[in-house]
Structure 1
Amino acid sequence: MTDGMILAGKTALVTGSTSGIGLAIATAFAKAGANVVLNGFGEPAAIEATRAELAASTGVTVTHSGADMTKPDEIAAMVAEAEAAFGAVDVLVNNAGIQHVAPIDEFPIDKWNAILAINLSSAFHTMRAALPGMKRKGWGRVINTASAHALVASPYKAAYVAAKHGIAGLTKTAALEVATAGITVNAICPGYVWTPLVGKQIPDTMKARGMTEQEVKEKVLLAAQPTREFVKVDEVAALALFLCRAEAANITGALLPIDGGWTAQ
C-alpha cells in the first residue's frame, strides 16, 4: 500500500456528499483507495454523472444512496445496504446539513425541526447503525462536519447553532464510548467555506445590502475570520483524510477548528 492509498480496501459513507464539502471529502477518500457511498439529493442525471466520474477517475467502486436524512428507517437501510455491498462501513462522515436564518420569535417551527433532524439527529442514527460493524472489525473512523458554530454562536441561527453544539456533545460522548474499540470520533469545525451554495447567495446579498461583491465577501461573509479568506473544501477534506491515518489514532473526541482564526477571538 502506498502512502497515498491509506484507505485501500476500506469503505467510506459520506452523507450530504453530492456537492460542496461532502463531495470534496468523498473525492479525497476515493483517491486514497476507499470505496465510497455518496448520499444526497439533486438532479438524478447530475448525481449519476458525479458518481460515474469519481469511480472512473479513481478506480474504486462508488455508489449513491438517496436516503432521506430526516427518516431514521431510511438511514438504517442505507448503512445496512453499504455493509451488504462492501462488508462494512469503515469510515462514516456525517456531513448532511441545511440552514435557515431568522429571529427566534419568527423562526418557523418546521425549519427548526428539519434543521435539528438533518444536522443533528441524522448523525445519531448513522452512528447507531454503523458502530456495531466498526466494533466487530476493531477499527473505525467517525468524522462529523460540525462548524465554527459548534463552538460559538451567531444571531438569527438558533436551530443551526443548537444543532452544531449538539454535534459537539454527541461527538465527545461517542468518542468516550468507543475509546477502547479502535474507533475514533471527531468533529471538524469549519468557518465560512467557499462552496457553490455560498457563491449563489452573493448576488442577492449585494442587492439587499447595496454592496459590491467584494464588500459582501469582506464585510458580511468574512468579517468573523481574521485571515479574511474562505476555507477551501480541499482543506477540510485533507483534515478528514488525516483523521483516518494511523498517526491520528489518539485524536478522538476532538473539535477541530478550521476557521481562519474565527474561534480564537
Structure 2
Amino acid sequence: MANPTKSKEGEDKLDVTMASDPIVIESSDEEPAQDPSPIMKLESADDADDEADDEPEDEALDVAERDIVLDVDDRVPYRKGWPLLPVLPVATIQDVPTKYFPSSGAHLKVISKLLEKSGVEVHKIEVAHRMHYGTHPGKSNATLCILSNQANNSTWDDAVRDIRAYLIENEVQLCIEILDHRLWNGMWSLPIVPTEKGVLRACKRKRHAMTEVLKESGEPWVSLDFYHRGLTHRRPDCRPTAIISAPYPNHAIWYSRILPAIKVIAGPKLEVELMFSTVDGL
C-alpha cells in the first residue's frame, strides 16, 4: 500500500505511489494519511507564467478535446467550479501575478456579495494557481478558490454561475473553485485493517471485475487501490473506497462508460473515486 511520508510540520502525508495490492494489511497500527497538496512557492511567478503561456503542443490539444464538457463542474459533492477543474490531487501556488486579478480588492467585495446572495458559507477566499504536479502555473490555472462546507453545497452551483458572469463581464480570466475547506490540504486515507474481514472480502471479490472494466476500456490508468477515504482523519467520517488513479481523469469516457460500470460492481457499500496520477506515480 502507499507509504506515509513526513511533511515539514511532522504530519503524515500519503505517498501517491500506490502498490498493486494495498488491501492486504499486515498491521493495524498505521496512521491516517492525507493526500499530498503542498503549498508551493515560486522564486519568480512571472517567469514561470511566461513559460506556461507558450502555445500548447498538438498532443495536449488532442487530450483536451476528449475532456468532458460541463456547465458547472459538479462531478463530486465536495468540490464544484468552472471551467473543468483538474481532478485531485493538485498542487497549489499562491504567488499569482496581479495581471490576472487587477483591482482585486474591488472585485472581491462584489464576489463576497454574490456569495452572500447565493447563501454560500464562506470560510476563506484565496487566489492561487491550482494545477496537477508537473504543470506550469499560468493563466489557464489561476483560480479563485472559495473554501466552504460540503453541507452547504446546494448553494454552490448558482454562486459559480453568478461569479462566472461577473468575471466574464469584467474581463477577469480566473477559474472558479468552491470546495470544502477540509480538502484544501487533501483528502484523508485510512487503511483497511485485518479486523474488517467483511470489507476485505468485498474488496478482493470486486477487484478482478473492476480491473477487467479498466483493461477493456482502452483508457490509460495507473492503479486500483482500496482505502477508507474522507474529509477528516476520523474513521467514522471515512467510507471504504475503490480509488482509481489515471493520467487523464477529465476524459469524458470515464464519466460516460468506465465509472458507471465500476460503480455497478462496487454496489452501495463501496465508494468509487477517480484520482490524477502519472505513470511514475507523481
**What TM-score do you get using the length of structure 2 for normalisation?**
0.28
Q: Which of the pair is proportionally richer in helix?
A: 1
**What TM-score do you get using the length of structure 1 for normalisation?**
0.30
Q: Which of the pair is proportionally richer in strand?
A: 2
**Highest Rg: 1 or 2?**
2
